[in-house]
Structure 1
Amino acid sequence: MNGYWASFLVLLTAQCLLPSSGHAFFSPETYVSTFDLPYLVSDFLIVLFLAGTEVWLRFNYKYAHNLVLVSGLVISYLGFYVLFPFVNGAEIILILPVLLALVHFSRAVLYISGLSSIVFLGLTYLSAHSYNPRIDWLGFGIAVIYIVLGVLVGRAILERSQELRSSMESLVKSEQKLIVEKAISDKLLKMDALTGLYNHKTFHEYLENLILHCDTNGVPLHLALLDIDNFKKVNDTYGHWVGDVVLKDVAGCITELLSPNNFAARYGGEEFAVIFTDTSARQAAEEAEQIRKAIEDLPLTHSRAHPVTVSIGLCSYRPGSGKETLFRNTDDALYQAKRSGKNKVVLYEPADQ
């Protein structure tokens, strides 16, 4: 809109500077001024339309693009009406609607703008013919050719922009596909394919970060190791496919009872690991007991004659002791649970307590 207002100021300046009388529009004996009533009315209409457009854009953005396009048409047509009797080559201003149509990236708008410019130009020349039968129709022909060329160039620009747009969309889709594939690949690298829990590598990475956080900020951290009791016997008796079902069932119990702040992984074989954070040792032991009880209550399926049970060793991390010490103590607690009858939770108790 600022450009439109600037164009109107240029038009007014031209009106002030242009001499009276005309070139081919009027007969030689006709006296005409750029400030005669028809041209003043044209100026008024331009101001009125631009002001109305400004008000519309400030209070209602509906149809904003269409209104801006129409404003350009009004300026170009009325501006041509004012300049045509006084300026040779004023027809060039009628290419402006064609250029404005490119903003809409629409061939239909481009063709309509070009056609309307030619029609308006033809009506203007016919009107001039009533004043002066010797009107220069060569200028009309040249102007039409320029408008048609402008439409053709505009169509080529739109076709090229559409090609670029298609290329960009294809590129964006390819990038999105790569991002999704990378996310899936990253997830597969972090997850255990059988149980859906995190794998051994991801577990250690997460634990190391948590230990660093615990050493720095003193956040509570507890590690539990779960081992399925007599799992070798299940494989030997019922086959490895049943053993896989047992692993999935156990993983499902752990996942279902795990709170959002905790982390579970398949540590290896029939062994699982759970990290409890932001909780006390007693609360961690209670949650571990809930997991143990849920696994014990799993329904007997797939020809299993005995319930699945797990032994759990649990140890609280002491800031500064390191990951190796935490694992050794947790493993000792697990070994004690196995040795003392299995299917139980044993909390590691430091010797100095």
Structure 2
Amino acid sequence: MTRGGSLGDPRTAQDVTRLGQKQNFQCWNFKSTDTLREQYLRSINKLRRQIADGSAVNNNQTKCPQGQNVYRLSWDCELELKAQEAVDQCKTSGVPEPAGHSQLIKRVASTCTPTKILKNSISEWWNDDVQKVGVDNPPLNKQGLEQFAKLANGRATKIGCAQKNCNEQLYVACVVNEPAPAPDALIYEPGLGCNCTSFLDSKCNANKTYDCPAEASAHSSATRCRNAADSSGNYDENFYFINSNTIEHKTAAREAANTWGLEISTRTMPQRDTERNMYSSSLGIPNFANMVWEAHSGVGCAIVRCNSRTNVVCHYSPKSIGDNRQIYKMGPACRRCHDYPGTRCVDGLCTV
């Protein structure tokens, strides 16, 4: 039996990247575009998120040590200009690193599909080092891990990247606002995800809250090997079973989450003024409703083998789903954050 999984709202599953609307970076470097900036930022924050949630792949088919206080990077136009100065030299060696910052630079043979190339460049900086020398526990910087250490630096908060086509050779550079960790120094702080103690007034993203007591409850429910969800207890429950006891747990989790999220694709929610987004058990969307329910702030999941099948259960807290209650209020993103003191808007969600 295996416990675990993170099967929350598919729109807000644990991810450090910006979701939803495109960002307006308002940078004045006309040699780049917001599309490319978005690609850089999404790629690096997706990798940093894997450190925070413990899913980053190490060498030898293991996982990198999970980290805490790993901050989402924001885009910095000044750092982008420094990266542009680096690639404008059309070389990879002998390019000075900006004082007080760390810099990565590489040359790519093809310039046909820059967006794909840029995405791959970030992954290669990250993964090549890890696969060659591996990340130790604790995660100390060492020879061969220099590029990874710059991108995974737990204290980094800003980045800027740029590119230049030099005689059909694409040069790509990124500048990070923190110096690279010294040899034998921690790349990031080991720990269990979000802690947010490195910088004053930094906050953890509430949509990423994993509820361990909810997981224990989900595991207890899943081990009963039932055929349907159980509405009793202290949590709202999503239930899914697969007619196989050999399916990989990651595959089972993905299948369950996708199935729950797609309930709404064949159903609907009432939109008349007096009953807009009101929940009713007759709608046939209990799992989707749990995933997007406005009042849910925590989720815990479990996957259990039951004879010839596999059960997937997620429990949501606080328990709040019920007939004639509104699943969520419609309107512009984050418009009602002021109704919840101490919250701010992150990725279109009110976050504590």
Q: TM-score, normalised by structure 2?
A: 0.18
Higher helix share: 1
Higher strand share: 2
Q: TM-score, normalised by structure 1?
A: 0.18
